[in-house]
Amino acid sequence: MTSIPEARWLDQDENRTWHAVWKLMTWLPARLDAQLRADAGLSLADYNALAEISAAPDHTVRLSELAASTNMTLSHLSRVMSRLETLGWVVRYPDPTDGRSTLAHLTDGGWAKVVATAPGHVEAVRRYLFDNLSAEESRALGAAAAVVASAAAPTGSARE
């Protein structure tokens, strides 16, 4: 019979931290998604895709890179891109330098949607995150989140 390795159980402080992080990861995206749906008719996934494309050089990005930066599966990203393409906010086309890749480009209408949506989204981020933290807490959270995000990023991800 194989022995089961002893678990490294969380102590009381670690357990408290883990539960706070879990609630943050669960509740904050839900609040941001609700705000975006109510104010702009977008899901958080839709907005994240549009925002990532808008920040890319020439408002163009490879779909594989977009999937990594938004933490979407290619299947989920494909559904998001189809919706955004139908709305006229993005176009997809083969990468002329690499026939195996597909590029997504933000249209003028997509840029206008990002510009119109961003103020409400930023206000929600402020309301749920920054308005509840001191400047010191904000810096500490940012530093800790960067370390954890780096450790948790998928292998080969652009986020490494």
User: Hey, CA dihedral for 71, 68, 112, 55, is it positive or negative?
Assistant: positive
- Using a 10 angstrom Cβ sphere, with 0-12 exposed, 13-18 middle and 19 or more buried, the burial of residue 26 is exposed
* pLDDT: which is higher, 52 or 7: 52
Helix, coil or strand: residue 6:
coil
Question: Is the pLDDT assigned to residue 158 strictly greater than 70?
Answer: no
Average pLDDT over residues 130-146: 97
Q: Where are the domains of the chain?
A: 43-152
Q: Are 70 and 52 contacting, i.e. CB atoms less than 8 angstroms apart?
A: yes
What digits encode the pLDDT tens for the residues 72-120? Answer: 999 999 999 999 999 999 999 999 998 899 999 999 999 999 999 999 9
* CA-to-CA dists, residue 20 to 27, 31, 33, 42, 147, angstroms: 10, 16, 20, 27, 17
* pLDDT: which is higher, 29 or 156: 29
Query: What pLDDT sits at residue 156?
Result: 54
Query: What pLDDT sits at residue 1?
Result: 63
CATH 1.10.760.10 fits 43-152, yes or no: no
pTM score, whole prediction: 0.87
